[in-house]
């Protein structure tokens, strides 16, 4: 079955073996945008070469479906991020991959993938200027997404999980740098609404000694 070949090729980084899993007119849909798709071996090979060059520790953990439609899922590393990718695979009458649609999580991993894949694919397509532009544009986006994933996303977690989240750095207007967050002061013990307030001390008259 072609998904077995596809899985074995990805885990071993064998581009030639991967190409045997695809039909000559196979279509692959990018996980980054609906504006781009790769059709035929001539377009698929450079993409797979780039993928195998940047992805490491590829391990498939799921391969489910029937003889015409299957879903394969793997975990890997790309650009210092853990990535998980699911591919919906459509098989033709010969058991070859006729269509593949990719889905990626997490968001930092997706942007890291764009940062690594985009410039490389542009260079292979003879667009060095576009490759440099993509490399420059992706860096601040990747930094922003990583910062949001580390500091902003944990704020949406249930309160009992807050202790597991890293502290949020505070911005120093004097230095222009982030500094460690100050520890929160413990809440003061306030009297319970049901506890009566202590009676004030009686006032002494001027002639009382």
pLDDT band at 1 (very low <50, low <70, confident <90, very high): low
pLDDT confidence of residue 61: 96
Are 19 and 48 within 8 A, CB to CB?
yes
pLDDT confidence of residue 22: 97
Is a pLDDT exceeding 50 seen at residue 90?
yes
pLDDT confidence of residue 192: 53
Is a pLDDT exceeding 90 seen at residue 87?
yes
CA distance 17 to 14: 5
Residue pLDDT, tens place only, 118-157: 878 888 878 888 778 877 887 887 788 878 878 777 878 7
CA distance 28 to 166: 39
pLDDT confidence of residue 168: 47
Residue pLDDT, tens place only, 41-85: 999 999 999 999 999 999 999 999 999 999 999 999 998 899 999
pLDDT confidence of residue 99: 97
Cα Rg for the chain, rounded, in angstroms?
Answer: 29
Q: What domains, with CATH codes, occur in the chain?
A: 2-151 (3.10.450.50)
Element (H, E) at 47: helix 40-54
Is a pLDDT exceeding 50 seen at residue 185?
yes
pLDDT confidence of residue 162: 54
CA distance 209 to 204: 8
pTM over 0.85, yes/no: no
Beta bridge partners of 103: 86
């Amino acid at each position: 079955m072609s998904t077995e070949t596809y899985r074995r090729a990805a885990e071993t980084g064998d581009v030639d073996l991967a190409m045997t899993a695809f039909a000559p007119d196979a279509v692959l849909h990018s996980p980054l945008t609906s504006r781009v798709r790769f059709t035929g071996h001539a377009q698929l090979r450079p993409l797979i070469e780039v993928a195998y060059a940047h992805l490491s520790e590829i391990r498939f953990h799921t391969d489910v479906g029937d003889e015409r439609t299957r879903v394969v899922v793997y975990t890997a590393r790309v650009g210092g991020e853990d990535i998980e990718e699911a591919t919906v695979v459509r098989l033709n009458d010969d058991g070859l991959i006729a269509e593949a649609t990719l889905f990626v999580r997490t968001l930092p991993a997706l942007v890291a993938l764009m940062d690594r894949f985009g410039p490389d694919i542009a260079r292979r397509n003879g667009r060095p200027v576009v490759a440099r532009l993509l490399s420059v544009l992706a860096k601040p986006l990747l930094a922003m997404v990583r910062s949001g994933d580390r500091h902003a996303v944990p704020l949406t977690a249930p309160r009992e999980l807050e202790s597991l989240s890293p502290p949020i750095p505070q911005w120093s207007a004097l230095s222009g740098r982030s500094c460690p967050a100050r520890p929160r002061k413990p809440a003061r013990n306030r009297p319970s609404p049901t506890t009566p307030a202590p009676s004030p001390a009686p006032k002494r008259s001027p002639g009382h000694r």
